[in-house]
Structure 1
Amino acid sequence: MFIADLPYAKTLRDHLVRSIRFALEEDLGSGDITALLIPAQQTSQAQVITREPGVLCGREWFEEVFRQIDPTVTLNWLKQDGDTLLANDILVELRGNTRAILTAERSALNFLQTLSGSATLARRYAMAVAGKALVILDTRKTLPGLRLAQKYAIAVGGCQNHRLGLYDMFLIKENHIAGCGGIANAVKRAQEIAPDKKIEVEVESLEQLLEALDLPVDVIMLDNFNVQQTAEAVKLTQGRIKLEASGNMDLERIAELTGVLPDYVSVGKLTKDISSLDLSLRLVG
């Protein structure tokens, strides 16, 4: 997958450039004093390897770091975003100014290893429902400043994106319902505010589900329903509306739901409980 494949590609590229600019300001400050140990005109070759298996994601972030530090450093990628990696695989070969390579190293790896960690976890979840009529969605539980980057990683891993933020669809939850005086009032108000936006409503009981089924909504979120309650919700709905199961979802709970089959399962762990892939950059000549 490439960034260009996504409907939010332009926004993501803008975020990418800004987030890397900030990351470099944070890391470099007044300048990389340790890199000054190296002769200014010295050039080197380097490789990035992975020390563990996973899924590669974040090539364009890695490239942008070097573009902002020194665009003359050349990168020869041996792997693509979405590729399955084995321990000790070489991901990319670099050639250029030694100081530039060492200055850019940590920021470039931080983006690459973080996004690869998200994609690797997403791939595990995608494989868990392979062949099933069940879609895994991400959430807004993302690292601050990396929302769209992590959502790209989730797509690379094989899962799907939920809403991008608070602006592109309504998700009417418990507190919104309480503040509006009921589900019907909240839905009516949403239609008045933005009639072209998708509406999703969270329900906490089968009684609320029945109420929401009579309203003009696109998706109903089943909040912390157990397997039996989810099965009953699927039966009551009879395909009239899309159902999303949510609430502390993990691979074990999803395995139970594959026999019940709501339409979607949203998983906060995809972006909030990630472990970065163990990557390393080494000078080789």
Structure 2
Amino acid sequence: MSAETRRGLAEAGLAPEQVCRIVQNALVEDLGPELLDVTSVATIPAEQTDTADVVARADGVVAGLAVAAAAFELAGALTAGGRTVEVSVVARDGARVARGDVLATVTGPTRVLLTGERTALNLLSRMSGVATHTRAWADALAGSKAMVLDTRKTTPGLRVLEKYAVRAGGGTNKRMGLHDVAMIKDNHKYAAGGITAAYRRVRAAFPEVPVQVEVDTLDEAVEAVEAGARFLLLDNMSPQLLTDVVTAVGDRAELEATGGLTLADAAAVGATGVDFLSVGALTHSSPILDIALDLRTD
């Protein structure tokens, strides 16, 4: 992986070695155990080189350009004896792009360009789709203090990339996994014997770990705050009930609306005074942004 690509990943808050593993796994999935692109090997001389453009086929928000660059570079390392592939990124992550915009150019062995094409585009299109969807929510919440949050409803193996795409689209990340934040949900409450008991058990076991508590009623919200919780998930509450909780809790805890939220209702929910809206659909239901690779023919 080139120094420029590593720098681009690091600037995005992505660990280059982690991205390398994700991309290599995707390439091997495509190339098989013999690391072979039978069509490209059969039709294109090994010494042929070309330039191709990575082009948006639809309007949206781009994310993952350094990841796509890594895919092309690693395709060369795996299949062409390390022959150099040069990637020039034209757009920037988080930018709005229009159909026909060139996002990056790639120059190198033609076989490598076509071998890396699908992996690079799969990741770039997926991440850009998440960023585009997130931007729609961020725009809908403009004028309120509320921010849109992601969840753990991510594609297995791609969580760090999809959560980065949320950030690029103007959203913010919740917990990365089960290890970094304790989240007391309904099943935990029932198993532990109630909100207060569950909260105290988490605090005793992991005193330094942030704790979030899911509540369904105004009484539960008050109980959670009085137990010490400073972050509440307000599950499937109406705008009026959200407003009531905001009034009762005040600034004693950060408040997140969650469950069954739609883009059409986002502004109304944001206007209740909650701090966050969590939307699993950002990562589990975002359509891709159509992006293609076009070899230059002139």
Instruction: Give the TM-score of the pair, scaled to structure 2.
Output: 0.91
Aligned to 1:61: 67
Spell out the pairing of 1:160-239 with structure 2 (5 A cutoff). Answer: 160-239=172-251
Residue aligned with 1:238, SS: helix
The answer to whether the 8 Å contact 1:250/1:269 transfers is no
Task: List structure 1 runs of 4+ shifted beyond 4 angstroms.
Answer: none
Report the equivalent of 1:276.
Answer: 288
CA drift of 1:253 comes to 2.1
User: What is the alpha-carbon root mean square deviation over aligned residues?
Assistant: 1.4
Matched, 1:118 2:130: yes
TM-score (ref. length: structure 1): 0.95
| Equivalent of 2:37 in 19, 29, 32 | 32
Secondary structure in 2 matching 1:34:
helix
- Given residue 241 of structure 2, which amino acid in structure 1 is its aligned partner? Q
Question: Which range moved further: 199-208 or 253-262?
Answer: 253-262
Query: What CA distance in whole angstroms lies between the structure 2 residues aligned with 1:46 and 1:9?
Result: 26
Q: Are residue 4 (structure 1) and residue 10 (structure 2) matched?
A: yes
Cα deviation code 1:91-138 (max 9, x no counterpart): 111111011111111011101100000011111111111231111111
Structure 2: segments with no counterpart, 5+ residues:
1-7, 77-82
Partner SS state of residue 213, structure 2:
strand
> Percent of aligned pairs with the same residue?
38
Is the 8 Å Cα contact of residues 9 and 67 (structure 2) preserved in structure 1? no
Residue matched to 2:79: none
- Tell me the equivalent position of 2:26: 23
Unaligned 5+ runs, structure 1: none
User: Which of 76, 94, 119 is matched with 1:82 structurally?
Assistant: 94
Aligned 8 A contact 2:257 2:278 in 1: yes
The SS at the match of 1:46 is: strand
Partner amino acid, structure 2, of 1:39: P
Q: CA deviation at 1:258?
A: 2.7
Separation of aligned partners in 2, 1:139 and 1:85: 26
**What is the one-letter code of the residue matched to 1:24?**
L
Deviation by residue 1:141-183 (Cα, 9 ceiling, x = unmatched)? 1111111110100000111000010000111000011111111
Q: Which amino acid aligns with 1:25?
A: V
Q: Is contact 2:61–2:169 with CA below 8 Å preserved after alignment?
A: yes
2: CA distance between counterparts of 1:5 and 1:245?
31
Whether 2:158 is the aligned partner of 1:133: answer: no
1:52-91 residue CA offsets vs partner (Å, 9 max, x unmatched): 1011111121111122111511112211111110111111
Question: Is this contact kept in 2: 1:134–1:262, CA < 8 A?
Answer: yes
| Shift in Å, 1:3 | 4.5
Would you say the 8 A contact 1:220–1:244 is kept in 2? yes
Paired letter, 1:196: E
- Size of the aligned set, in residue pairs, is 281
Match for 1:41: what amino acid? Answer: E
- Aligned counterpart for 2:109 among listed residues 97, 100, 117: 97
Cα displacement (A) at 1:5: 5.0
SS for the counterpart of 2:38 is coil
